[in-house]
């Protein structure tokens, strides 16, 4: 009798194992059909970083480097029609935490109490999802907004010469680990560290209007510019307007109007005065890079711990989140003394240097010495629209 009970128990146990294996196979089949089953549909309240998020009285900036308003704005933009329980919350919190601290997948796995493979999957999938927001969050101003942008640079430069300025352009180098590639030396920049380049155009508040990321660190600024969409398409700025850049760029009239400072030696006080106002106007793009890197110091003040082919996506995601934060009034100023990994301007290509000089000269002659009249006051929240 005891043997029969033992056999029955074994058969029952085998039957339960078969049912569990069958359930796993069914879940796998659903996953392969693109209908992913989320194992974290219920929130684990025992995870400290999730407890912090659930407590509405706690500031999230220390742990996530984003304010609660910024995180909620990101979740709203990413909201899916089909999501189970707390799936989206956990995914957003996990990827933001990973960006904030630059930790390995293994460490984040332990922090959120999920498998390492799940962390890898979430990070890559959520980066793709955030990149789908890029054109919605990072875009050029409309025709109606151009006057507001120009007034912002008028104020910033403290000169009416810049009331037709539509942006400031610059590039910076983002550190990456040495690529395991035959072309690894292409990523070694002139400061002798491996990097990829981020070219950005921003408005007078430091909000990105266009980004172009991914060129190896050894490539000259001018070549990056010439291969960027804003140059190839000649789509910005509008006619009669211009953008400003440092001496590493050529002074251009076509296909985009790019005004650079006068080169040394300067000829008189007017050119010196123009350069001072010009420096004030273009400094905002350096501040934008500094704000972005101050927020994501865990990944920008050391080499990115991801494959070099994935690095441009991570950088672009940070730029998207930068704009979302500015829209939400969530600003982290760069700490004085921190190196934002900006390299000194490279020498411009001489054959292009004179192309934009006539326009620069007319701009200087007409306005730079004119009495300053402050532009009308702008409500910052009226312009930061997504």
Give pLDDT tens digits for 123-168.
999 999 999 999 999 999 999 999 999 999 999 999 998 999 999 9
β-bridge pairing 165-175 and 242-244 = parallel
pTM higher than the cut 0.85:
no
Q: What is the pLDDT of residue 282?
A: 96
CA distance linking residue 253 with residue 237, whole number of Å: 11
Pick the more confident residue, 337 or 315. Answer: 315
Q: What is the pLDDT of residue 338?
A: 52
pLDDT at 268 over 60: yes
Rounded mean pLDDT of 321-345? 76
pLDDT per residue over 174-203, tens digit each?
999 999 888 899 999 999 999 999 999 999
Could you give the strand order of the β-sheet that contains 242-244, starting from the edge strand earlier in sequence? 208-216, 195-202, 165-175, 242-244, 258-259
Q: What is the pLDDT of residue 277?
A: 95
Q: What is the pLDDT of residue 29?
A: 44
C-alpha pair distances (Å), 65 with each of 68, 93, 165:
10, 11, 32
The overall longest dimension of the chain from CA atoms, in Å, is 111
Q: 9-23, 170-184, 191-205, 259-273: lowest mean pLDDT where?
A: 9-23
Q: What is the pLDDT of residue 347?
A: 55
CA distance linking residue 115 with residue 363, whole number of Å: 60
Q: What is the pLDDT of residue 355?
A: 55
Q: Backbone phi, then psi, for 309, in 5-degree steps?
A: -75, -20
Work out the pLDDT band at 334, boundaries 50, 70, 90. Answer: confident
Q: 244-253, 309-318, 376-385: lowest mean pLDDT where?
A: 376-385
Rounded mean pLDDT of 38-65? 80
pLDDT per residue over 234-259, tens digit each?
999 999 999 999 999 999 998 999 99
Rounded mean pLDDT of 195-216? 96
The conformation of residue 21, written as its DSSP 8-state character, comes to H
């Amino acid at each position: 009798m005891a043997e029969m009970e033992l056999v029955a128990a074994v058969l029952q146990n085998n039957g339960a194992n078969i049912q569990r294996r069958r359930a796993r196979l069914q879940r796998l089949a659903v996953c392969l059909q693109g209908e992913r089953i989320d194992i974290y549909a219920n929130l684990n309240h025992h995870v400290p970083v999730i407890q912090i998020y659930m407590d509405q009285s706690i500031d999230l900036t220390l742990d996530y480097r984003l304010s609660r308003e910024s995180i909620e704005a990101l979740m709203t933009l990413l909201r899916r029609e089909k999501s189970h329980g707390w799936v989206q919350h956990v995914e957003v919190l996990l990827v933001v935490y990973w960006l904030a601290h630059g930790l390995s997948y293994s460490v984040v796995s332990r922090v959120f109490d999920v498998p390492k493979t799940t962390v890898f999957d979430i990070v890559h999938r959520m980066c793709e999802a955030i990149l789908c927001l890029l054109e919605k969050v990072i875009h050029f101003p409309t025709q109606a907004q151009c006057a507001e942008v120009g007034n912002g640079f008028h104020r910033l430069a403290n000169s009416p010469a810049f009331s037709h300025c539509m942006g400031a352009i610059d590039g910076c180098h983002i550190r990456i680990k040495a690529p395991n590639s035959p072309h690894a030396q292409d990523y070694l920049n002139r400061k002798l560290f491996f990097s990829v380049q981020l070219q950005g155009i921003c408005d007078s508040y430091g909000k990105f209007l266009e980004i172009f990321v991914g060129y190896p660190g050894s490539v000259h600024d001018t070549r990056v510019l010439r291969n960027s969409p804003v140059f190839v398409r000649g789509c910005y700025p509008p006619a009669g307007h211009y953008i400003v850049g440092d001496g590493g760029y050529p002074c251009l009239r076509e296909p985009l109007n790019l005004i650079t400072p006068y080169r040394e030696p300067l000829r008189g006080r007017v050119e010196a005065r123009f350069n001072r106002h010009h420096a004030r106007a273009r400094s905002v793009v350096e501040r934008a890079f500094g704000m972005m890197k101050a927020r994501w110091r865990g990944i920008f003040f050391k080499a990115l711990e991801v494959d070099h082919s994935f690095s441009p996506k991570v950088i672009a995601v940070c730029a998207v989140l930068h704009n979302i934060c500015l829209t939400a009034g969530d600003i982290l100023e760069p700490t004085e003394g921190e190196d934002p990994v900006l390299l000194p301007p490279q020498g411009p290509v001489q054959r292009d240097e004179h192309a934009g000089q006539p326009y620069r000269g007319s701009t200087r002659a007409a306005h730079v010495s004119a009495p300053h009249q402050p532009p009308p006051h702008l409500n910052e929240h009226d312009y930061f629209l997504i």
